[in-house]
Structure 1
Amino acid sequence: MNQGQIEIKTPEFVSLNYQIAGLGSRGAAMLIDQLLLLVANIVIYLIFLMANVSDIFYLSDSWVPVAVAIILVFIINWGYFFVAEFFFGGKTLGKKLIGIRVIQENGHSITLLSSLIRNLLRIIDMLPTSYFLGMVFIFFHSKHKRLGDMVAGTIVVHERAAKKEGTSKIDKEILRRGLTKDSLALKDFALRSLGKKEWELLRIYSGKFLNIKLNDRVQLTRQLATKLLPKIGLDARDKEILELENILLTLYLITKDEWEYEL
């Protein structure tokens, strides 16, 4: 294993390799996020200040709009990281631009509780100023974790650009079938259930799809559909084999977009 990389073995005996994000990339992502929040904070303060001066709120106490603005800024500054990391695959805007994401130590997507914990502890990591304590932890920890990551059981890893699509046999088969990521409408909870583990299973399935006998493909399709479809709220028992194949190949497209990286 190269320095700065980590191998995670899932309960299904799938090995997942990640390149851990260090202080430089995490610091760059944080700088982008802080600049974004700074602009948002300034806009909020200006709006409330102008509203107060022009007496739009019609309040006798001039400090009330300012107090509301302070509370709103606090919620945005803390809630931004929590909401972005949980609902957008472990990525704030800064992390997305730098190419890193937060995941669980077991390789799964970050959970609601983990996102809540790691971002609540951001208050401690910011001490005494400018994330000094957090940077010290990241620099010296073997997996580049700040305090929030240690308590929440999360790590921050690198992503790389996805491989070019449309050149492999399976890509051509998917194109022939007219399948896209939009061929299957999934709710947010379903998308969050499709992590690196599911991607590995679908990657193996797609690799074998055109290279095995028809009977073996039918058996493999039913086995994988029985395992994965309940995760996204679908029942595999009432579907024909062609429909199951199309669903699994569409899931392959969806997870490929998120998880196929060159590390």
Structure 2
Amino acid sequence: MTIEERINIKTPEYVSLKFRLAGLGSRAAAMIIDQIIITVANVIVFLLFLYSASSSMFWFTDSIWPIAVAIIIIFIINWGYFFIAEYFYNGKTIGKHLIGIRVIQENGHNITLLSCFIRNLLRIVDMLPTSYFLGIVMVFFHAKHKRLGDLAAGTIVVHERSKKKRKASSIEKYIERRGLSKSTISIDDWTIQSLGKKEWDLLQGYSEKLLELDISQRRDLTRKLAAILFPKVGMKLDNQTVKELEDALLVLYLYMKEEWEYEL
């Protein structure tokens, strides 16, 4: 792998991140998988259209409605698949997930609604004149492997970073002994993605100090951190015991650990 395939990003939180850019090969492999999925979906729609056109159970059988509906559904599948998957699945389609790549903002953050919309709207141009020819040429020659959609949306496609492989820390063992896991409290991905490096630093520092503090210090730190973080994630602070607050903070730590603890 050449140096040009790596990119250093300075985030708005002044954190330096290193990513490995996804080249033409990995992006093409992901696209092939996605196109197979889309083709299967299109075939199913087409077969349903043929069935509806030949069935008397539909009152509009002899009109153009079946054709219009089929065209709309196929358009939604072909364009909406990428838009919906990349926005709600952390920058990944099924193909990207299987290959191990994802779309992110150039500042290192997760893809936004607007950038996802622009990026996928311009697929229409990248597909010209046929079979993504223009997009392939752009990815091959651009220094950051960008197609037109990426240029307009300010996005890049990178390889997923490997999570750290190490022995469980003392706080992780403690969390396990308390019977806590991400399933203990349900927090949606949108909420987690809205939190940044500042919140992660607070939780990480909390987890590192928690077991070293005496009961009074531990109680005070837990209440202070809960007062800062709970309003940001829609959790209630009132009428909760210190143990319940600790549980919630430790579960939140598990959620954010998945997003922020990487081996760069």
Over the residues paired in the alignment, what is the CA RMSD in angstroms? 3.0
Give the secondary-structure state (helix, strand or coil) at the position aligned to 1:247: helix
Report the Cα distance in structure 2 between the residues aligned to 1:245 and 1:216, rounded to whole angstroms: 13
- CA 1:67–1:52 in 2, change beyond 3 Å: closer, same or farther? same
- AA paired with 1:43? I
Report the Cα distance in structure 1 between the residues aligned to 2:142 and 2:54, rounded to whole angstroms: 50
Q: Does structure 2 retain, via aligned residues, the 8 Å contact 1:109–1:195?
A: no
Report the Cα distance in structure 2 between the residues aligned to 1:259 and 1:16, rounded to whole angstroms: 11
Q: Deviations over 1:36-77 (max 9, x none)?
A: 000000011011112212333233535431331121101111
Q: Tell me what 2:7 maps to.
A: 6
- CA 1:165–1:233 in 2, change beyond 3 Å: closer, same or farther? farther
Q: Tell me what 1:65 maps to.
A: 66
Q: Tell me what 2:137 maps to.
A: 136
Q: Does structure 1 retain, via aligned residues, the 8 Å contact 2:30–2:96?
A: yes
Report the Cα distance in structure 2 between the residues aligned to 1:187 and 1:40, rounded to whole angstroms: 28
Q: Deviations over 1:83-141 (max 9, x none)?
A: 11111111111111111111112222211111111110111111111111112222222
- Identical residues among aligned pairs (%): 60
Mapping 1:109-188, distance limit 5 Å: 109-164=110-165, 167-188=168-189
Give the secondary-structure state (helix, strand or coil) at the position aligned to 1:17: strand
Q: Does structure 2 retain, via aligned residues, the 8 Å contact 1:195–1:255?
A: no
Report the Cα distance in structure 2 between the residues aligned to 1:20 and 1:120, rounded to whole angstroms: 22
Kindly tell me the number of residue pairs found equivalent between the two proteins: 263
- AA paired with 1:25? S
Name the TM-score, length of structure 1 as normaliser. Answer: 0.84
Q: Deviations over 1:163-198 (max 9, x none)?
A: 457722121011122210022222453133146775
Report the Cα distance in structure 1 between the residues aligned to 2:249 and 2:3, rounded to whole angstroms: 33
Name the TM-score, length of structure 2 as normaliser. Answer: 0.84
Mapping 1:1-263, distance limit 5 Å: 2-59=3-60, 61=62, 63-164=64-165, 167-194=168-195, 198-199=199-200, 202-203=203-204, 205-210=206-211, 225=226, 227-234=228-235, 242-263=243-264
- AA paired with 1:50? Y
Report the Cα distance in structure 1 between the residues aligned to 2:28 and 2:250, rounded to whole angstroms: 37
Q: Does structure 2 retain, via aligned residues, the 8 Å contact 1:117–1:152?
A: yes
Measured after TM superposition, the shift of residue 15 of structure 1 is 2.1
- CA 1:30–1:203 in 2, change beyond 3 Å: closer, same or farther? farther
- CA 1:144–1:60 in 2, change beyond 3 Å: closer, same or farther? closer
- CA 1:48–1:251 in 2, change beyond 3 Å: closer, same or farther? same
- AA paired with 2:253? Y
Q: Does structure 1 retain, via aligned residues, the 8 Å contact 2:23–2:140?
A: yes
Q: Does structure 2 retain, via aligned residues, the 8 Å contact 1:84–1:91?
A: yes
Measured after TM superposition, the shift of residue 3 of structure 1 is 3.4
Report the Cα distance in structure 1 between the residues aligned to 2:222 and 2:39, rounded to whole angstroms: 50
- AA paired with 2:19? Y
Give the secondary-structure state (helix, strand or coil) at the position aligned to 1:137: helix
- Structure 1: gaps (5+ residues): none
Give the secondary-structure state (helix, strand or coil) at the position aligned to 2:183: helix
